[in-house]
Amino acid sequence: MRLRTQRTSYAVAIMAAGLTLTLGACSGGDDSMTSGASSASSQATDEHTDMAMDTGVEPVSTGDPFADARTAAAHMPETGLTLATGLAKATDTAGEVDSDAATLRANLTAMLQEHVYLTGIGVATAYTAGADSDEFAAAKSALDGNTQDLTDAIGSIAGDDAAQTFDQVWTDHVGYFVDYAVAKKSGDQAAADAAQANLTTYTQDAGAFFEQISDGALPAAAVTEALAMHVSTMSAAIDALAAGDPTASDTLRAAADHVGMDAATIATGLATSADLSGDPMDDASTLRSNLTALLQEHVYLASYAVFTAYTADGGVDSEAFTAAAATLDANSVALSDAVTSLAGADNGSAFLDLWREHIGFFVDYAVADATGDEDARQQALLDLDGYRPQAGDFFEKISDGELPSADVAAGLGMHVSTLAGAIDSLAKTLVG
């Protein structure tokens, strides 16, 4: 698997900076409703590079950038829960951060957001490498994994029959988006119109489905209206990709932002019909879902920025990459704003500074990896190992001890191992 690349040291550095966000602070597993790639996460342990002898961190990767991105994303719901739990306690946020209803909302948020980003990345891959390429096959496999996660989630609440129906309806709508993408790229307006008609029918079928499985708690008309916005915003993102619009990343982010509202709507109805404990819309649940969305968005916007750096004409000097990097930075600012809202402006600024410093260490690792400088590679791992307790101290401070420094630092060990392994994989796939 090999994409057309721009082989410069600066491109490698930018790739590393993006991927630092792609593999945000990682921790343990989630419950049965967790979003994304539990299977991808286990696959990530199957292959690895040599252990870093001085630090004890072991880079881990699969060699597949799409699988690695899903593995990174799979950690985000649990990371969001960990941070939300400590911060909610420290700030006396009302509600229950870990109720069944809150869990449902957070995980639907992650799964639906992942659907948008994997669809966008898949379309971009098809346009760049071809629909018959190994790259697109891998991207499609990642999207299929997301569909399976959503199907399993629906089945856990509504049963196997409902899961089978959902799988068919959802898979069909993914296919209609593919039809639309092909038609827009080829300029076949009649085919594009036919795909849009099929997507409209899908919104009606999905509305009826959710009304049925929720015993009326999710009215068909309300679901259809919400999904019509999903179709509209996702179609706009595909339009931008097909046209080569350098601001396509902003359009894709807008589509992803919208499905967070869909997740809240669907979670509210399903929680009511299933009589789940808690309130999916209370302040603590909202904090958890928002952190989950922001952390996972880092994963996919960073992946898109890296993809753009290696496929756009002009590479990192292209207008498309500049725009993608700006979209990614907007997410970084949003995450620091979230810290500010809970812990004040000084702490928000400190978070951003600390985050950027550890990005630099990953840049050092990526450059060393691409140039075969093993001494520099080991030094970067040592620097990253030193970052972990600093981050732990920061979160312990802003949470008034609710997030113990040692626990945060230990969780970041997985972050370092997974990110370093992903950079190894990307160096082989995109640079080597």
Cα–Cα dist 236/64, whole Å: 28
The predicted model scores a pTM of 0.83
Q: What is the pLDDT of residue 50?
A: 39
Q: What is the pLDDT of residue 8?
A: 33
Q: Token pair for residue 198?
A: 């099929």
Digit-by-digit pLDDT tens for the chain (432 residues) are 444 333 333 333 333 333 333 323 333 333 434 333 333 434 433 443 333 334 567 787 888 888 888 887 787 788 789 889 999 999 999 999 999 999 999 999 999 999 999 999 999 989 988 888 888 898 899 999 999 999 999 999 999 999 999 999 999 999 999 999 999 999 999 999 999 999 999 999 999 999 999 999 999 999 999 999 999 999 999 999 999 999 999 999 999 999 999 999 999 999 999 999 999 999 999 999 999 999 889 878 777 876 777 777 887 778 998 898 889 888 888 989 999 999 999 999 999 988 777 766 766 776 677 677 899 989 989 998 998 899 889 999 999 999 999 888 877 777 777 777 777 776 666 555
Q: What is the pLDDT of residue 359?
A: 67
The tokens 């309130």 sit on which residue?
279
Cα–Cα dist 430/422, whole Å: 12
What are the boundaries of each domain within the chain? Answer: 1-94+297-432, 96-281
Q: What is the pLDDT of residue 432?
A: 52
* Residues 366 and 423 sit within 8 Å (Cβ to Cβ): yes
